[in-house]
Amino acid sequence: MTYYAALDVSVRTVAICIVDQEGAIQLERSVRSELADILKALNDFGAPIANVGFEAGVLTQYLTYGLKAAGHEVVCMEARQVSAALAAMRNKTDKNDARGIAQILRTGWYSRVHVKSIESHYVRALLASRKAIFNKCIDLENEVRGLLKVFGVKLPPRVYHGAFDSEARKAIEGDAPLSEALAPMLDARLVLLRTFRDLDARVKRMAREDKVCARFMTVPGVGSLTALTFKAAVDDPARFASSRTVGAHFGLTPRRFQSGETDNPGRISRAGDADVRAALYIAANSMMMRSVQWSWLKAWGTRLIKTKGRRRAVVAVARKLAVILHRMWADQTDFRWSNSEATA
């Protein structure tokens, strides 16, 4: 007899449901969302379990690597597909969700999600920390600007981050009450800015020392942030059967609605990792608007601008960049500047 174990995972608890190959429920239990408690419940079942499945979520990496280390075959399922299937159930409870996931796992009606390596998650954590601290700097700058406007003080609309502190302090000197109110915010922003610069230097150093990222950065417009973001998100180039699917994976291809005689391509799907999509867009925009280096890719994008407009052309170049970066990684080849090299 073959058995399947499903986990409905939340931050505090996990609902477990084990079914046999006919779909009959063999065990139901709720335990804490701790690896030791989950493994104990599975081991107490007393029979070999073919697959342990759950939908992708915040504890995916923790559970996947922990269960695999204990000898279990783990299936991480695409959350949107699982949610669509569970939506047909009349009552939504953790117990019912675990039952539904167990049946999905048994029938094989799911899309498996790639679980990134621990190294990839470390890089993503560093990038997320850098982004969060930078955003906090911007928040404090905007707060200071807003408070100064109340007193009729207007800072220049464009001030480089390093010059903002001196400009703001210059504006409040001579006004003791205002200085007492805003100086602590400026001090906090200065600490955050120094921390951001330190993290930014670490990101750039990490990209330079990584062979894959160094190769990515030979592409015009692609800097250290784009290279690291893309590498950490893809993690393993072999998980994509074709480079052409990478753009769709990161939401850079149009949605399509086709039914009968209706066939309407829509806007880009915006599926997948938003940070990767933004990084690719910024790289494409930099290539098209700032880079003076000629390449077949820039020439292609320039032709698109004339027919599709700048925004659509940049999105198309971003999608092409995703394909190119993946192909360079998979084949371990350099960027080909001329069209003859690209088609060789």
Helices 60-69 and 35-44, packing angle to 10 deg: 50
pTM of the model: 0.86
What does the angle CA 154 – CA 160 – CA 166 come to, to the nearest 5 degrees? 60
- Average pLDDT over the chain reads 91
- In whole angstroms, give the CA distance from residue 329 to residue 153: 52
What phi and psi, each to the nearest 5 degrees, are found at residue 29?
-160, 150
pLDDT tens-place string over residues 26-38: 999 999 999 999 9
Pairing of strands 3-9, 13-20: antiparallel
| pLDDT, position 343 | 47
pLDDT tens-place string over residues 250-295: 999 876 555 555 445 657 778 788 999 999 999 999 999 887 788 8
| pLDDT, position 77 | 96
pLDDT tens-place string over residues 132-153: 999 999 999 999 999 999 999 9
Q: Which residue has the higher pLDDT, 130 or 80?
A: 130
Helix boundaries (H) for 210-294? 211-216, 224-234, 244-249, 274-289
Percentage of the chain exceeding pLDDT 70? 95
- In whole angstroms, give the CA distance from residue 16 to residue 294: 58
| pLDDT, position 344 | 41
- In whole angstroms, give the CA distance from residue 293 to residue 222: 12
117-140: burial string, b at 16+ Cβ within 10 Å, e else: eeebeebbebbeebeebbebbeeb
What does the angle CA 58 – CA 140 – CA 275 come to, to the nearest 5 degrees? 35
| pLDDT interval class at 57 (50, 70, 90) | very high
| pLDDT, position 257 | 52
Amino acid (one-letter) located at 88: A
In the block, which residue shows the tokens 């198309």? 316
